[in-house]
Structure 1
Amino acid sequence: MNNTILNSYSGIKTHQFGLDSVSNNIANVNTVGFRESRPEFETLFAPKTSSNGPTSNEINMGATAASNAISTQNGSYKLSDGEFDLAYQGKGWFVVGENKEGEMEVKKDSFSQKQENFFTRDGNFGKDAQGYLVNSRGYYVYGVNLGKIQNGVFISSPQDDEQNLASEKLSPLRIPQDLHCKPAQTTKVQASINLNKTQNPKNAYDAFVVDGKLDEKKILDADVNIFFANQKSLDSQINNEAKITLTSNDGKQQTYTFYYGEGKENSFRTLGELKSLIKEKTGLDLNIATQNTDSKTPSLAVELSSPNFAQPDIQTDGSFFEALGMNTKREQQMATVSPYTPNQSYAPNELVSYLGITFKKINQAGNSNPLESPKDWEIVGTNNVKNFDENKTYSAGDVVKKDGSVYLMDDKNQFLKISDEKTFQYPTYNPQEQYGKNTFVQFENKLYERIGETGNSNPAQDPEGWQEISLGKILSKSLEVPHFTSNIDIYDENGKKYHLISQYNLVEGFNTTDQKNQKWEVKTYIQDIESKNRLGDEVTHFISFDQDNQPTAQTAEIDFKGKKIAYDIAGTEKEKSSDELYSESRVVSSSQNGYPDGLLEQTSINENGVIFLKFSNGKQEAMGRIGVVAFVNDQGLSKMGGNLFGLESTLIGGEKHLKSGNPILGWNESGKLTMGNIKQGYLETSNVNVGNALTELILMQRGYSMNAKSFTTGDELIKEAINLKK
């Protein structure tokens, strides 16, 4: 046999190998995930000959198939409606296996598996009857299983997901169709709240009265600018002037002006500061009065009154009093005090008027003259004593006042000092004392007159012995404070829903051009939705905002079915609470770690291959990830059919090694894919280039034909040589 036949024969076989490979590529042009084969040829051998010339005279002998390499180019990607259809874009392979109990561990420097596993780019996955993810041949899809599905129930535990998703262990993935999400009891709630102090006025009684007792200090310490009256904000920066005009019984007038803010004389910010100023300048009392106590809706009001028996005319004016609804006038009134009668017997604490002086009976009953018996009578008021007039002639028995003292002219026409001037203050009720008729006492910010016989009964509880009287009080409209109620759903361990209700009341606050500070009192409790009953005790906590709008809030601890709820109203992890006036009071966002029972609704897989399960209770959480591995040498993988590739070993230096090298995990320590990404709802088509394949087919056909022609030529030459012998 000559070399022509040998060479052409090897050429025919080699090109047949090429034709087989190319035709296989064309046959799989629409096979999902198919990897194109690239036939590669090499010289069969070259015999060694000796030559002394400057060039080689060796002739390569024939051709043979060197390899049928795998094309690692990405194919095209097409949309697919399969729930678990996946496409991988980049360097790497999906992992599948025949054993549902199998496990594969891929470490940095080692690799182990309990069974044979295969690798594919065909992401045409679905679920079998048991909920395992499988490919079209029924092989199980391997990945990282976070172990959250136990006995058909999903148990949430997202704390270490990032770390666990970077696991080196791969096993079959299973997602039961009737999967339930186990409910969890709420133990942590965060809320981002915007509180607008210009909205939602609420009865101030609910904010400042606890268990029926008014916290007067709290309301007096509050900046007046937090209050509303008759559903309108006091807006004290604009309504900042309060005027009081007093007209005495001799016709003299005196006007006092008070200003909200700072920097001026008689400036105030709080009701307590205004109360002190009014008392100091006018002698009037500014108090907080509780109204409608017998109704279901008691209320609070600002009350301006005089502690004197002889009350002057009082007129209030100015924008501040107008905003409170107190712009009015109260004419002079006097409590009825009987004049002293010598023949009448007086009981202890009875009051009489004598020579313009108000006396109170002390010690035992009697009818002695008040001026002549100081041990039996006490001077308690000199309001009605006239001022001394130098142009007037006085006679014995006349009483005048001058320079803070009260004088009586005796029968020698000499003025004798009998007392200092005294402004009558209503005495406070003392249950240890006896009170007779014409006795006046203060009790619970009200004035009472004794109308019964001498006794010491409680004025509020004895309407037959006492009657309430009024000396011309000026009352504001009912006070209100900005309010907001939030409602956040929480859950117990069985998934039953409750309401976490918080009531926000503005109790302190400044708000000027250069200063801003607000403090809201928050009362939080848990409400049963069905019965509307309160569950457990109400907890009081606070949130405040500084001048930079930064919130500060204590975390409230709320008892809830044997556990504690840590309730933080300073904000969520994404946004803080605020007190912006351009936005309504509302819950901007909230988060809590409890949830009810839920059924699996949807499965989604992100670009990193992480599998998220979404349940009907709104819970969405990772359960695992799709396994992806890569190889140093993809060409070392063995074609197994069915779009699968396997591992193949070889001996190198007497040791067994994988041709492809050990598998390499497709993600880093943070769990992110490093060599590609996954696309859910897509499939990767064959990476065969049809145009190139047809071209290769033609070239292989021509090569085959030419080698066949060479073979025929060689055969004819042999025949001719044989004929020469004949």
Structure 2
Amino acid sequence: MLKSLFSGVSGLQSHQVAMDVESNNIANVNTVGFKYSRANFSDLLAQTKAIATAPQGQLGGKNPVQVGLGSTVNSMTRIFAQGSVQNSDKNTDVAIQGDGFFIISPDGGNTYKYTRAGDFKFDAGGNFVDNNGFIAQGWLRDPVTGTVDSTAPIENINIPPGLTTPANATQEVVLKANLNSGPLVESFSPAYEVPSGAPVAPFTTALPAVDDNGFPIESGDVGVMFNEVGEAFSLQNGQGVWASFRESTVTSGAVTGGLAADSAESITFDLDDGSTKTVNFTFLAGNTAAQNAAIEASAINSISTVTGITASVNALDQVVLVNDNASGSASHNISVNAVSSGNTGLAAGDADQSAWRYTYNAAGPTTAAGADKEFNTIASLREALENQANAEPGAAGIEVSVNDQGKLELTNTNAASYNVNLKMTGVSGGGVTENVRFTRNMEAMNTVLQAGTAGKSFSQAFNAATHSSSIDVFDSLGSKHTLRMEFRKISLDAATGSEWAVTITVPEPATIDTVAPTFEKKGSIRFNNDGSLATYSPPNISFTANNGSAPDQQINLSFGTGNMFDGMTSFDSVSSTSGISQDGYTGGDLVGIRIDQSGTLIGSFSNGRSFGLAQIAMAKFTNNEGLSTEGGNVFIQTANSGDPIIGTAATAGRGFIQSAALEASNVDLSRALTQLIIVQRGFQANGKTITTSDQLLQTLIGLKN
């Protein structure tokens, strides 16, 4: 009988413990990071009244006869289920999504404690602390390498108040851009200026172009230039123009008249393509010289579309041959190859040069003086035009230059009696098609410039495809300097690709080169025929600001990887910069801190820079339930929890960190209240066991009476 009393008592005690556990759970329903517990009941050792017996013959076996002695709470289980994450307005609040614990220390890292409550803040000394004043543990930024090494031992997270970052000199400029390789561009600039005059030392050939600062520079291949609306000339070898600086005139001797009989005559002209053209006509017996001259002129005019020559008769009954270089399809020079007789007044060899052929040769000008001209750059075209203009009979003081608008400019100066009669037509025939765009650019120069007037004639503008990008770089003092990179298309190779000139400039008094102009450095960038980057130069510049900062600052230029598309490219699309960056910055003060998912505390500075200042460490245990609680939302390691495995968030099974948020208690109030009812009923039932046993005892005692 007494056993039932003791069982009831043990049941009351067990349910009282369960009530205490559930009460604690409910009390912490709003405790940040709290993990609820449950009481685990077990029965006590039973009293055996009869042991079990095995079957014997025809008699079956018997089960043991045991009487239980009640219940007890033999363990508590802490449930580490994920609590809901609630956003907060404090950027130093952090919550763990997944497994793991924050590591905190009350004594500078000598001992560690662990918590899921991420209500951290900075104290007056810059320590990153929880509500107990325990300092969060992690890794700090190495001031030498500028990185946070998460493989190093953990330490107190401390960010000194008033933290500043010193200036960092730029070490690398990264540029990703496309340079338009197509026949129509939107971004272009005039060809560089080229002065008039003969070469001067150290230049032995054509005068070079000059840039905006007056320094010699590559003038650019005309073959890859563009007209005033951005259309490519795309000159091919042999294309060009005929240029005539004066009207070409040949006056015959006296034409024979009063012949006794009809006389068959012929004149043969040499043509530019190496062929000849013969015209036949007849002088009639008894005709006057004027009449025969008219017959001769009419015959010559009948083939003008081939020879380019027109004929007329002057007052002296002479035939006057004129070639004004007006026809693109006709010949451009007067040259008599043969005549049938002297009756025509002309003789073999009668010639007067009318035009010179200026043709494009991508390999460069190779023509000797006095022959047809070749050019490849606008500087060589300018020189050839000027040299020939001044070589014409009676000419002197003709100047040809390229002005700041990229236009060829011809000026008739210091010529007392020579009138420039400029006429240009396109080259065609002999397997060469006329380049209409180039012809139009040059035809704009067609005009008459009277002697002594200093009259000028201009072509249309020659333009080069260009693109520029600028970025501010920093010296060791944190001063900004604008680095400008200008790209200008200068040549094209059908087999290998295109080449662009690169001009890098910095504002004076800064320097990036040792030779004048010291504020700029020139190089080139070449592309493969698939638009990928081939090579570029210079790979770096040596920058000196000349303001007291460290001299010879090496800045690497990263334009991409050879034969790849990860940097500069040259496709048939608009020239544009898709990315440009540099790694320098001026000094700045800390203005704010945010925390990312890896637990890195990222500082934002007044100079616009931000970088990791520290990283929160996290610990993971083999058995979370083996941890012991100390109150204050703090756990400590026990023999059954295992050793902490320390690392960064979101690695090796550790959860990630969410900033400006807190993990709420995982107590489910509806479950806890329901459990209270269950515990209450259990307690009541055990109480009833005791009162019922008491009544039985009372009956037993009453038997004596």
Q: TM-score, normalised by structure 2?
A: 0.66
2:223 — aligned with what? 225
**TM superposition shift of 1:82:** 1.0
**Equivalent of residue 301 in structure 1, options 392, 405, 408:** 408
> What stretches of structure 1 of length at least 5 have no aligned partner?
103-113, 149-154, 259-265, 336-467, 649-657
**Equivalent of residue 644 in structure 2, options 648, 663, 668:** 663
- Asked if structure 1 preserves the Cα contact closer than 8 Å seen for 2:85 and 2:663, the reply is yes
- Asked if structure 1 preserves the Cα contact closer than 8 Å seen for 2:150 and 2:648, the reply is no
**TM superposition shift of 1:205:** 2.5
The separation in 2 between residues aligned to 1:118 and 1:87, in whole angstroms, is 17
2:172 matched to 1:172?
Answer: no
Q: Secondary structure at the match of 1:123?
A: coil
Q: Secondary structure at the match of 2:155?
A: strand
1:58 — aligned with what? 66
The separation in 1 between residues aligned to 2:480 and 2:166, in whole angstroms, is 14
| One-letter amino acid of the counterpart of residue 425, structure 2 | D
Name the CA shift for 1:221/1:620 in 2 (closer, same or farther; >3 Å).
closer
The separation in 1 between residues aligned to 2:687 and 2:478, in whole angstroms, is 80
**Equivalent of residue 138 in structure 2, options 140, 143, 151:** 143
2:293 — aligned with what? none
The separation in 1 between residues aligned to 2:525 and 2:9, in whole angstroms, is 93
| One-letter amino acid of the counterpart of residue 75, structure 1 | G
Q: Secondary structure at the match of 2:250?
A: coil
Q: Which moved more, 1:228-237 or 1:9-18?
A: 228-237
- Asked if structure 1 preserves the Cα contact closer than 8 Å seen for 2:88 and 2:660, the reply is yes
- Asked if structure 2 preserves the Cα contact closer than 8 Å seen for 1:92 and 1:631, the reply is yes
2:113 matched to 1:118?
Answer: yes
Q: Which moved more, 1:573-582 or 1:684-693?
A: 573-582
- Asked if structure 1 preserves the Cα contact closer than 8 Å seen for 2:599 and 2:648, the reply is no
2:600 matched to 1:610?
Answer: yes
Q: Deviations over 1:29-72 (max 9, x none)?
A: 12111101111111122345552542111222111111121001
Q: Deviations over 1:337-387 (max 9, x none)?
A: xxxxxxxxxxxxxxxxxxxxxxxxxxxxxxxxxxxxxxxxxxxxxxxxxxx
Name the CA shift for 1:55/1:205 in 2 (closer, same or farther; >3 Å).
same
The separation in 1 between residues aligned to 2:95 and 2:135, in whole angstroms, is 17
2:682 matched to 1:697?
Answer: no
| One-letter amino acid of the counterpart of residue 202, structure 1 | P
2:418 matched to 1:316?
Answer: no
**TM superposition shift of 1:328:** 5.5
1:433 — aligned with what? none
- Asked if structure 2 preserves the Cα contact closer than 8 Å seen for 1:229 and 1:323, the reply is no
1:24 — aligned with what? 24
1:42 — aligned with what? 42
Q: TM-score, normalised by structure 1?
A: 0.65
Alignment of 1:316-715 (within 5 A): 316-318=424-426, 319-326=436-443, 476-477=459-460, 479-510=462-493, 517-527=497-507, 536-551=518-533, 552-554=535-537, 555-560=539-544, 561-571=550-560, 575-584=566-575, 586-648=576-638, 658-667=639-648, 672=651, 674-715=653-694
2:116 matched to 1:9?
Answer: no
**Equivalent of residue 242 in structure 1, options 236, 240, 243:** 240
Name the CA shift for 1:25/1:529 in 2 (closer, same or farther; >3 Å).
farther
The separation in 2 between residues aligned to 1:667 and 1:608, in whole angstroms, is 7
Q: Deviations over 1:429-471 (max 9, x none)?
A: xxxxxxxxxxxxxxxxxxxxxxxxxxxxxxxxxxxxxxx999x
Task: State, as a whole percentage, how many aligned pairs show the same letter.
Answer: 25
Name the CA shift for 1:574/1:499 in 2 (closer, same or farther; >3 Å).
farther
- Asked if structure 1 preserves the Cα contact closer than 8 Å seen for 2:208 and 2:219, the reply is yes
| One-letter amino acid of the counterpart of residue 226, structure 1 | V
| One-letter amino acid of the counterpart of residue 690, structure 2 | F
Name the CA shift for 1:66/1:519 in 2 (closer, same or farther; >3 Å).
same
User: Matched residue pairs, number?
Assistant: 542
**TM superposition shift of 1:217:** 8.8
Q: Secondary structure at the match of 1:205?
A: coil
- Asked if structure 2 preserves the Cα contact closer than 8 Å seen for 1:485 and 1:502, the reply is yes
| One-letter amino acid of the counterpart of residue 709, structure 1 | K
Q: Deviations over 1:591-623 (max 9, x none)?
A: 222111122233222222222222232322222
Alignment of 1:54-133 (within 5 A): 54-99=62-107, 101-102=108-109, 114-115=110-111, 117-133=112-128
| One-letter amino acid of the counterpart of residue 565, structure 1 | Q
| RMSD (CA atoms) | 4.5
**TM superposition shift of 1:134:** 1.3
The separation in 2 between residues aligned to 1:207 and 1:521, in whole angstroms, is 21
**TM superposition shift of 1:5:** 0.9
1:724 — aligned with what? 703
- Asked if structure 2 preserves the Cα contact closer than 8 Å seen for 1:187 and 1:563, the reply is no
The separation in 1 between residues aligned to 2:32 and 2:613, in whole angstroms, is 27
The separation in 2 between residues aligned to 1:253 and 1:476, in whole angstroms, is 31
Q: Secondary structure at the match of 2:67?
A: coil
Q: Deviations over 1:530-584 (max 9, x none)?
A: 99x9995422211122211112213033233423333325249994112345324
Q: Deviations over 1:505-534 (max 9, x none)?
A: 322235xxx667322222223225999x99
- Asked if structure 1 preserves the Cα contact closer than 8 Å seen for 2:492 and 2:499, the reply is yes
**TM superposition shift of 1:486:** 2.6
**TM superposition shift of 1:212:** 10
**TM superposition shift of 1:702:** 0.3
